Amino acid sequence: MVPLSWYLMLAAFLFSCGLYGALARRNAIAMLMGIELMLNAANINLVAFWRHGVGPMEDLTGQAFAVLIIGLAAAEAAVGLALIIAVYRERRTIDVDELDVLAG
Amino acid sequence: MQLPLGIEVPIPTFEQFVFIQVALLTAVAALAVVISRNLFHSALALTLTFFGVAGVYIFLEAEFLAVSQVLVYVGAIAMLIAFAIMLTRSMMFGRTSPLNNQWGKSSLFAFLFFSALLAFARATPWPAASEEIIADEALIGQLGREFVTTYVIAFEVLGLLLLVALVGAVMLARDR
């Protein structure tokens, strides 16, 4: 039996990696990859708590939410990458440091 | 098991041993995603991470999620990311650092955040054992029934969101 805290530690590591990637990378696609990592970490936590919670056979809330998050991540990736391609076509760059038209 | 310096380490069971392998693979791949200089290598490492997370779902006896993970993340999202990298390839190879000028602060913050989460995960007294479950078709069937009863609104909204997002993505990426 794998203890719950091991899953939480793995998820914490994935989340921190994703956080760093989303904050520190200049490429917009790399930022998006960081966000995907964070979503995956959240999903691991949800499923781990479902498995170690009370009555996992009767109450499938954790799994249901994880499925919804997977769907949401697919939508987010599609729109995000479409935006990146549109921006690239317009500006010939996807470096988020150079995309500062809205900066005051 | 006794390590040097008198550190006591419990001997892992076989299941725990395999979990450690899968978790290490996932963690190393996730680290490679964020530190790799070549964006395409990042995308490949991300695919490996998705596979590792699917393995973790198998350990948690959530087979349906593991299959969905491979189908959606590895099959669709990793593919989309690879296409996006190839469509925007001119800027990312080698020219300058892949990191912006706040990477130091970001890494410090991410490390502190990780340490805090780790401390919480270790300090909280979680229930030691979990209930036995028989993860088979019946459980997946029950998940399906929950989606058309308890979570029907969330399910329908997600369907609508996916439709709008995909039509919107086509609109955004279209060549005008």
Residue A51 to chain B, least CA–CA distance (Å): 6
Q: pLDDT of chain B along its 176 residues, tens only?
A: 566 666 667 788 888 999 999 999 999 999 999 998 888 899 999 999 999 999 999 999 899 999 999 999 999 999 999 999 888 875 555 556 778 888 899 999 999 999 999 999 989 888 877 777 776 778 888 999 999 999 999 999 999 999 999 999 999 888 77
Per-residue pLDDT reduced to its tens digit, A13-60: 999 999 999 999 888 999 999 999 999 999 999 999 999 988 788 888
Handedness of CA A71, A76, A81, A82 (dihedral sign): positive
Q: Does A91 touch chain B (CB under 8 A)?
A: no
Q: A9: which residues sit within 8 A by CB, 6+ positions away?
A: B117, B118, B121, B122
Q: Is residue A69 in some structural domain? A: yes
B111 near B72, Cβ under 8 Å?
no
What distance in Å separates the CA atoms of residue A38 and residue A35, rounded to the nearest whole number?
A: 5
The answer to whether B133 contacts A56, with C-beta atoms less than 8 Å apart, is: yes
Facing B62 at nearest CB: one of A19, A30, A63: A63
Q: Does A30 touch chain B (CB under 8 A)?
A: yes
Please count the structural domains in chain A. 1
Q: What's A21's domain CATH number?
A: 1.10.287.3510
Domains of chain B listed by start with CATH number = 1-90 (1.20.120.1200), 136-176 (no CATH)
ipTM of the complex: 0.92
Facing A68 at nearest CB: one of B133, B142, B158: B158
Q: How many CB atoms sit inside 10 A of residue A27's CB?
A: 24
- Structural domain containing residue A77: 4-91
- Tell me which chain A residues have a C-beta less than 8 angstroms from the C-beta of B155: 68
What distance in Å separates the CA atoms of residue B31 and residue A45, rounded to the nearest whole number?
A: 19
